[in-house]
Structure 1
Amino acid sequence: MAEPAAPKAAARGARLLAVLALAPTLRLAVIRHAVPPGAATRTGCDACGAPIGLARPWPALGPAARCGRCGTRVGPPPGTVELALAAAVGALVLLGPPGVVLAATAWWLGWAIPLVFVDAAVRRLPDRLTLPAAAGTWLLLGLAGVAGPGPEPWVRATAAGTALALFFATTTLLLGRRGFGLGDAKLALGVGALLGWYGWAALVAGLVFALLLAGLVGVALLAARRVGWRNHLPFGPFLVLGTLAALAALLT
């Protein structure tokens, strides 16, 4: 028997409210941390100094992304954080795994979305975002192992996260600026754990997807003369997208 229309509409409404409630928090995280390395976190409008925070979220932390005092654009372009969050919620609803693994995936996404915007803006992945993402994902996957298949997937997830982070860190030590950054290595802790839960093949697939996306975008930017051969693209966004692509391939 088909589900009644009213409960379906209520469920869609609840998901929409969840997106609207989380969007200001994610946008604030981007505004706070999209600053050059070594600079203090941003607390107000760059143009007029008006404070920005969850106590006064509109319009600076809304889709308009404008300072409430002077009207200057603040943070990412209007609507982009909200669109990314809506896409993430939709992907979780359609493809999300059951139980605590779903919670681990949602936790990771809640940190990964701001990280994409911060890395794209200032080419840095702050510890205040990467480390909670990794720690929460690891702990929730541990709970998933206790509640379901046992410790084996969690042990593999732990090993995968550690291995991927060490691989990225090693390229930094050996190749310097030509390798991946240490921020990428810290982001890889959560990425590796999430993909490693599903197996080593999933981890390899996520990394391959990320490298392919980075290569395609790099070639396109070179062809458009937007970057040169010496330019270094931020890899964090591609690592997040590659992870999502691998999860989508696994769960469909």
Structure 2
Amino acid sequence: MAPPTRRPWHRAVTLLTLTPLLRYAVARHAVPPGTDRRTGCDACGAPIGPDRPWPALGPTARCAGCGARVGAPPASVELVAMAALAALLLARPPGVELVVAAWWLVFAVPLIFVDFAVHRLPDRLTWPAAAGTWLLLGGAALAGAGPAPWLRATAAGVGLALFFAASTLLLGARGFGIGDAKLALSAGTLLGWYGWSVSVLGLVLALTLSGVVALGLLLSGRARWSSHLPFGPYLVLGAIGALLLVW
């Protein structure tokens, strides 16, 4: 008898068991540049590390010791994670590509919140996202896909990262950040697996979305021309949008 097919709600339950770890990553890394990782509640110092991650970092986002908010807003990480899961379930990419996308999203989701909170994309999240994506796609190439898509993915990731890094060198604070270049390395690699046009589409979607949001903030008076807006969240959304169009 064939094993029963795993139902979508089983995957949802599995993801929900991982969301405290995603929330922990946000609280841990959402600190200003030059500051070490957060180890406890800012209000009372109660630890949020491995000795007590679950009660302090549940969906309520409240410290179990004093009730102060810790990290991302209540239920926000959980909702974004569920939206990412819904996108994967609707798209139904092949097995190996599903694993690669899931790996990337595990790091991309907390990076969204960290960038919105403190305008930084920490190495402890961007580098594992890039390395894991590249290695997993390399495994897919060895398993039968062949070297061509993997080499193209590698070139696309490096090319997109260099594009962002060049803007930093040429424009300084008015350009993209080095963190954006590191995130682009993994996003470009993931998109490049499906073709050069998909990489370009992801970049165009990210630039368009960020431009629309920036224009809306300017018109509403909530931002000025000199304001620096985080680009990481739009890069993640652009990559997801491009993937949904090709899966």
Q: Give me the TM-score of the superposition, normalised by structure 2.
A: 0.95
Please tell me whether residue 16 in structure 1 is matched to residue 12 in structure 2: yes
Contact kept? 1:59, 1:65, Cα under 8 Å: no
Please tell me whether residue 233 in structure 1 is matched to residue 229 in structure 2: yes
Greater shift in the superposed pair: 240-249 or 144-153 = 144-153
1:220 Cα offset (Å): 0.9
Contact kept? 2:12, 2:85, Cα under 8 Å: no
**Aligned partners of 2:237, 2:33: CA distance in 1, in Å?**
24
**Aligned partners of 2:241, 2:228: CA distance in 1, in Å?**
23
Alignment of 1:145-156 (within 5 A): 145-156=141-152
- The alignment partner of 2:145 has SS state of coil
**Aligned partners of 2:146, 2:90: CA distance in 1, in Å?**
26
**Aligned partners of 1:16, 1:57: CA distance in 2, in Å?**
21
Q: Which residue of 2 aligns with 1:4?
A: none
Alignment of 1:164-179 (within 5 A): 164-179=160-175
Select which of 50, 69, 82 maps to 2:46.
50
Select which of 202, 217, 222 maps to 2:218.
222
Structure 1 residues 69 and 36: alpha-carbon distance in aligned structure 2, compared to 1, 3 A threshold: same
**Aligned partners of 1:187, 1:62: CA distance in 2, in Å?**
27
1:56 Cα offset (Å): 2.4
Alignment of 1:127-206 (within 5 A): 127-206=123-202
Moved over 6 A (4+): none
Please tell me whether residue 30 in structure 1 is matched to residue 26 in structure 2: yes
**Aligned partners of 1:97, 1:148: CA distance in 2, in Å?**
16
**Aligned partners of 1:127, 1:13: CA distance in 2, in Å?**
33
**Aligned partners of 1:239, 1:60: CA distance in 2, in Å?**
30
The residue type paired with residue 158 of structure 2 is T
Select which of 27, 50, 66 maps to 1:70.
66
Please tell me whether residue 120 in structure 1 is matched to residue 121 in structure 2: no
1:16 Cα offset (Å): 2.6
**Aligned partners of 1:16, 1:201: CA distance in 2, in Å?**
32
Contact kept? 1:210, 1:239, Cα under 8 Å: yes
Q: Which residue of 1 aligns with 2:76?
A: 80
Contact kept? 1:88, 1:109, Cα under 8 Å: yes
**Aligned partners of 1:60, 1:222: CA distance in 2, in Å?**
37
The residue type paired with residue 197 of structure 1 is W
Contact kept? 2:103, 2:129, Cα under 8 Å: yes
Please tell me whether residue 61 in structure 1 is matched to residue 57 in structure 2: yes
Contact kept? 1:30, 1:75, Cα under 8 Å: yes
The residue type paired with residue 17 of structure 2 is A
1:92 Cα offset (Å): 1.1
Aligned residues: 244
